[in-house]
Amino acid sequence: MKKIILSFIYLFFSIIVLAQDSTVALTNRQATGLRAEGKIYVVLAVSVTILTGLFIYLIRLDRKISRLEKGS
Amino acid sequence: MRQVWWKILTVVLLLNTFIAGFLITVPNVGNLEHTIRNSFFHIPMWITQFVMVSVSLIYSIRYLRKPDIKNDIYAYEYAKSGIVFGSLGLATGMIWANYTWGASWSNDPKQLGVAIALLIYLAYFVLRNSMPDLDKRARVSAVYNIFAYFIYIPMIVVLPRMVESLHPGGKGVEGNPGFNGDDLNVAMKWVIRPAYIGWVLLGVWITTLRLRVQLLAEKKSNSHFAS
Q: What is the mean pLDDT of chain A?
A: 73
Closest residue on chain B to A11 (Cα): B15
Name every chain B residue with its beta carbon within 8 A of the beta carbon of A69.
212, 216
B23 contacts A69? CB cut-off 8 A = no
A63 contacts B7? CB cut-off 8 A = no
Per residue in B123-152, is it b (16+ CB within 10 Å) or e — as a string? ebeebbeeeeeeeebbbebbebbbebbeeb
Residue A15 CA to residue B27 CA, distance in Å, equals: 26
CB atoms within 10 A of CB B122: 13
What is the DSSP secondary structure assignment for residue B169, as one 8-state letter? T
- The contacts of residue A33 (CB under 8 Å, 6+ apart) are A22, A25, A41
Q: Touching check for A22 and chain B: CB below 8 Å? A: no
Residue A36 CA to residue A22 CA, distance in Å, equals: 8
Name every chain A residue with its beta carbon within 8 A of the beta carbon of B216.
65, 68-69, 72
The confidence score (pLDDT) of residue A23 equals 46
The confidence score (pLDDT) of residue B4 equals 87
B19 contacts A44? CB cut-off 8 A = yes
B197 vs A29 pLDDT, higher one: B197
A48 contacts B15? CB cut-off 8 A = yes
Residue B149 CA to residue B156 CA, distance in Å, equals: 11
B8 contacts A6? CB cut-off 8 A = yes
Residue B59 CA to residue B75 CA, distance in Å, equals: 5
pTM of the model: 0.80
- The contacts of residue B32 (CB under 8 Å, 6+ apart) are B100
Q: Do the beta carbons of residue B53 and residue B152 sit within 8 Å?
A: yes
The confidence score (pLDDT) of residue B208 equals 94
| Residue numbers of B between 7 and 46 with CB closer than 8 Å to A | 7-8, 11-12, 14-15, 18-19, 22-23, 34
Q: For B15, which of A40, A51, A69 is closest by C-beta distance? A: A51
The confidence score (pLDDT) of residue B137 equals 92
Q: Do the beta carbons of residue A71 and residue A61 sit within 8 Å?
A: no
The confidence score (pLDDT) of residue A8 equals 62
Residue A37 CA to residue B169 CA, distance in Å, equals: 32
Q: Which of B79, B224, B206 shows the shortest CA–CA distance to A57?
A: B206
Residue B77 CA to residue B205 CA, distance in Å, equals: 12
Write B191-194 long-range contacts (CB < 8 A, 24+): B191/B16, B191/B17, B191/B20, B191/B21, B191/B24, B191/B40, B192/B39, B192/B40, B192/B43, B192/B44, B194/B13, B194/B16, B194/B17
Q: Kindly report, residue by residue over B172-200, the tens digit of the pLDDT.
A: 555 555 555 556 677 888 888 899 999 99
Q: Kindly report, residue by residue over B128-148, the tens digit of the pLDDT.
A: 999 999 899 999 999 999 999
CB atoms within 10 A of CB B11: 24
What does chain A come to in residues? 72
**H-type helices in B101-185, by residue range?**
109-129, 134-153, 159-162
The confidence score (pLDDT) of residue B197 equals 94
Pick out chain B residues at pLDDT < 50: none
Beta carbon pairs, A and B, within 8 Å? 57
CB atoms within 10 A of CB A9: 9
Q: What is the mean pLDDT of chain B?
A: 86
Closest residue on chain B to A12 (Cα): B15
Q: Span A49-58, mean pLDDT? A: 90
Q: Touching check for A60 and chain B: CB below 8 Å? A: no
Q: Do the beta carbons of residue B28 and residue B100 sit within 8 Å?
A: no
Q: Do the beta carbons of residue A59 and residue A7 sit within 8 Å?
A: yes
The confidence score (pLDDT) of residue A25 equals 45
Mutation choice for A interface testing from B1, B4, B9, B11 by most A CBs within 10 A:
B11
| Residue numbers of B between 182 and 221 with CB closer than 8 Å to A | 205-206, 209, 212-213, 216, 219-220
